[in-house]
Structure 1
Amino acid sequence: MALKTSSRLSDVDEYGFERPPDFNYQNYEEFMSRYLSVLTRRARKWSHLLGAKETVGRGIKVKRYVRKGIPMKHRGKMWMEVSGSRRKMEAHPGYYKSLLEGSLDEEVVESIKIDVPRTFPDNIYFRDYNEGKLTDLYNVLVAFAHHNKKIGYCQGLNYIAGLLLIITKDEESTFWLLNALVEDLLPQYYTPDMIGVLTDIKVLESLVKERANLVWRHIKHYELTWGLLTTKWFICLFAEVLPIETVLRIWDCLFYEGNKILMRVAITLVLSNEQKILMSQDFGDIIECFKKITKDADAIDCHTFMENVFKVSGSFPRARLAKLREECKEEVMAEMKK
C-alpha cells in the first residue's frame, strides 16, 4: 500500500532515526509508492527460496536474490550465514561472554565510553543506557577491542556496530558480524594507520581519472583531495552517508560479495553525478555537492540505486581490483614514509 500524504509519515523511521527538518517527504513517498510492491514481490520470492528454513547457504541464485535485497525479517540471520559469522559463533560458545567477564584495558574502555553516546545522535535507540541500545553497543565494542587487541577500538566502529545492533537486535550476533567485517571483509581498514581506507580512496581516484577524467581534473583544479571528499564513505561503509535503506542494501551485498561493493558504490556515485560535480565551481560548492548527492532522490530510491551500481560501475574483475589495490597501497606506504 502506497503512502499518500506526508502527514502519514512519522518523524522517526522504522529503524529509530529521526527525519531531519529538510527531509524530502515527497521524494520519499514517491519512492515508497514504487518500492512497497518490490518489497512484497521480494518477500514472496525469499519465502519460496527459504521454505521452512530461516537462512540458506551461498549459490548463484542466492547471490542474485541478495543483490535485489534481503527482506528485513531475514536480514540479520542471512548476514550471519553468508558471512560465515554463524559458523564462528557456534564454534566458540561462550566466547563473547568471556571477553566481557575478563580483565579489561581501562584506557580502551574509556575511549569507548566517550564515543558510545556520540553514536547516531539522531536515533532514539541510542540515547538511554537503561532503555536503549547504548549498553549493548558498549558491550559489543568492549568485547571486540579485547578480542582483537591489535585494533582495539577505532573510531567509526561505533556506527557500524550500532547499525548491526539495530538489524540483529542481538549483542553476540553483532559481535561476530563486526568481527567478519573488520577481520575478513575489510582487513587493514581499522588499523591505526587506516592503510586499507587510504588505499581504497586512492583506488577510487584512479578509477575516476580513468572513467571520468573531467571530474578528476575538476577536483584537482580546485585543490581538493579525494580523502577530504570520501573518507567517511569508506570508514562508515556508507552508514551516516547514504539513506538507511540504501545502506542496508549495500551491506546485503557486502556480507555476501565482499568489499568490492564499496568501490562499486563509490564510483557509481561519482559517475552518476558527473554533471552536478562539474557544475560546482569552487572549493565549498564541490564539498556541498558531494554531501547532496548522497541524500538526493536517486540515493533515496535504494532499489534503482542498487540496480545502477551494477550497471554504471561496469565490469569489475576481482583480479584487476586486487592489482589496482596493491599498486595504490604501495603509493600510500611510500607517501607515509615521506
Structure 2
Amino acid sequence: MTQPSAQQLYVSDMTDDEIELLKKLEEANRRIEYDTKSPVNTTQNPLANLRSPESYHEQLRQDSVSSDLSNVTTDSDANLENEWIIWNKIINNWSIYIKKKPQWIKDMIRANVPIHFRPLVWQCLAKVNTSTAREKYIDYMKMTSSCEKIIRRDISRTYPEHEFFKEKHGIGQERLFNVIKAYSLFDREVGYCQGIGFIVGLLLMHMPEEEAFAVLVSIMQDFSMRDMYKPDMFCLCLCMYQLECMIQEFLPDLYRHFQTENFNTSMYASSWFLTLFTTQFPLNIVSHVMDLFLSEGIEIIFRIAIALLEIHQNELMVLSMEDMLKVCIIY
C-alpha cells in the first residue's frame, strides 16, 4: 500500500494556502528530525536520528505492507474509502498496531487523520481507556472551584467567532466552563491559565465533555504541558531558550536580525507553546497540529515554530521589532 501524502487527504476541507502551509510544515518537520545537531533531538533522544531519510522511508514502505491490509485496493478513485477501511482497522486494533507498527502509525498520523476518526485517535493516543479522569469528572461537576470567576471572564474570549462558542451562556461556553473548572479542581497547583481554554475548546469541537476532560488531563500530565503553566514558568522559559538555540542553528541570519532588534523569543513564541498554536492557525491545521502533538510530543511544537519562521524569514528580515511582533502574533 502506497501511503497518501498530507495534501491528498481531505483537501476539499482545506484552502490552497492551508494545504501549502501543511506541506511546508511537514518538509521542515522531516528536515529537523534528521538533523543530528537539532537541540531538541540531541537533548531528548540522541539515538533518534541515526537513520537517514532514505533508510527511514525504505523501512516505512516495508512497514506499511501489512498482511491484514494487503487486500485493500490502492486505486486513487478509492482512496477515501481505503482510508476509512484502514483507519477503522487501526482504531479497532489500536493496542496491536501501536505496539507492533508504531512508526507506521506515526506516519499515518502525519499524513492526516480523517476528521471522523480524529476523536477516537486522540483518545487512543492519550490512553483515555486506562484513565480514571472520566469518572472523576462527574464528581468535579458537583464541586466549586476558586477559579470560577476568572474562568467565566475569559470564556467569551475563547474562539469568539466560532459558532459553537459565540453564544453567551450557550451550550458551547457552558461545556468549556465545565471542563476548565474540572481541571482547576483536578490540578490545584496549576489551577487555571487562559491558554488552557483554547486547548479545551479544540477538544470540545471533537468530543463530549468527559472525553475532552480525560484527553486534557493526559495532555497536561503525560505530555508535561502542566509544567508550562506552573507559577514559576521555568519549563516555558526553558522551551524559549531551546527554541532560540534552534533559530541560531537553523536560521542564523534571522537569529542575528532578532538580536539586533532586541526581539526576544518569549515576545512571540510563548503563546505558541501555551496554546499549541490553537490561536495562530485555521482550525483545519490546528487539528492536525494536535494530531502530531499527541503522536510525537512537544518536539513537534519546536519544529512547527522553526517552519513558520523559515516560511516568513524574508518578510521578517526587513521589519523592525514592533512590526515583527505584529506579524508573529497573527501567524
Structure 1 residues 39 and 224, CA gap change in structure 2 (3 angstroms): farther
Matches within 5 A, 1:111-260: 111-128=150-167, 131-168=170-207, 170-185=208-223, 186-260=225-299
* 1:69 match: 112
Listed one character per residue, the Cα deviations across residues 216-241 of structure 1 (whole Å, up to 9, x for unaligned) are 11011111111112111111100010
Report the CA distance between 1:79 and its aligned residue.
0.5
Taking only aligned residues, the RMSD between alpha carbons, in angstroms, comes to 3.0
Task: Tell me the amino acid that sits aligned with residue 326 of structure 2.
Answer: E
Instruction: Pick from 56, 60, 75 the counterpart of residue 94 of structure 2.
Output: 56
1:289 deviation in Å? 3.4
Partner-residue secondary structure (3-state), 2:228 = coil
Q: 1:28 to 1:177 in 2, by over 3 A?
A: closer
Tell me the secondary structure at the aligned position of residue 239 of structure 2. Answer: helix
Q: TM-score, normalised by structure 1?
A: 0.70
- By how many angstroms is 1:40 displaced? 7.7
1:216/1:166 Cα in 2 relative to 1: closer, same or farther (>3 Å)?
Answer: same
Q: How does 1:86-101 map to 2 (within 5 A)?
A: 86-89=129-132, 94-101=135-142
1:194, CA displacement in angstroms? Answer: 2.2
Structure 2: runs of 5 or more not aligned = 1-12, 23-74
Counting matched residue pairs gives 262
The alpha carbon displacement at 1:25 in A equals 7.4
Which whole-Å CA distance do the structure 2 matches of 1:245 and 1:49 have between them? 19
Answer yes or no: is the 8 Å Cα contact 2:91–2:120 preserved in 1. no
72-81 or 114-123, which moves further after superposition? 114-123
CA shift at 1:251, angstroms? 0.8
Greater length-normalized contact order (CA 8 Å, ≥ 6 residues apart): 2
CA contact (8 A) 2:158 2:201 kept: yes
User: CA 1:156/1:38 → structure 2, altered by over 3 Å: closer, same or farther?
Assistant: farther
Shift, 1:72, TM fit: 0.6
Aligned residues of 1:229 and 1:287 also touching (Cα < 8 A):
yes
TM superposition score normalised by structure 2? 0.71
**Are 2:118 and 2:206, in contact at CA under 8 Å, matched by a contact in 1?**
yes
Q: CA deviation at 1:95?
A: 1.5
Q: Structure 1, unaligned stretches of length 5 or more? A: 1-13, 15-23, 295-338
The partner residue of 2:85 within 28, 44, 47 is: 47
* 1:192-248 CA-partner distances (Å, limit 9, x unpaired): 222222211111111111221111110111111111121111111000101211111
Q: Which amino acid aligns with 2:213?
A: F
Alpha carbons of structure 1 residues 73 and 223: separation in structure 2 relative to 1, 3 Å: same
Q: 1:84 corresponds to which residue? A: 127
